[in-house]
Amino acid sequence: MADITYLILSSFAIIMPAYIANSIPVLSRGKHPVDLGRNFTDGKRILGDGKTFEGTALGLFFGTLVGTGYTLLTGSPSAYIFYSFMLALGALVGDMLGAFIKRRMNIPRGASAPVLDQLDFVVGALLFLAPFYPISWAQVLIVILVTPPIHLFTNYLAYRLKLKPNPW
């Protein structure tokens, strides 16, 4: 039982910077889109107005800050700060890749794309972490299984707090 508890808690400790980096940008109300308002070769916006420099910077800062706090509170190796930075960066890049895919599929900004919306940032975060930290397959599985309900709940909460225009 202790092994399972450790596995679950360590999975959350690993992925938390990505969760924070993915959720914080909505608070920035950014005005400067990362794609600079440009279209891709297909004539559609590259990412859309929802991916901003302000949100990206805020997500990267707070995702890394969570890792710094974890390191200070637990006495974890200082390398965890770097891992947190990579997780936050990977989450933001993964989310942007999800937005890019949604634009190609004619899914408008804010519209739901089940599975893609819940896992794009996690996959990005884990891919950015993988070269530097040996996350186990069990931890990956736990993160992938728990993220969709957590993501749906936090989005619903953000909607109720009027931070998001829709509950997904």
Model pLDDT for residues 8-45, shown as the tens digit of each residue: 999 999 999 999 999 999 899 899 999 999 999 999 99
CB neighbours of residue 31 within 10 Å? 9
CA distance 86 to 143: 16
CA distance 74 to 77: 9
Closest CA to 68 of 52, 94, 88: 88
| 167 has a pLDDT exceeding 90 | no
State the chain's mean pLDDT as an integer: 94
**pLDDT confidence of residue 2:** 76
Q: What digits encode the pLDDT tens for the residues 63-99?
A: 999 999 999 999 888 899 999 999 999 999 999 999 9
**pTM for this structure?**
0.93
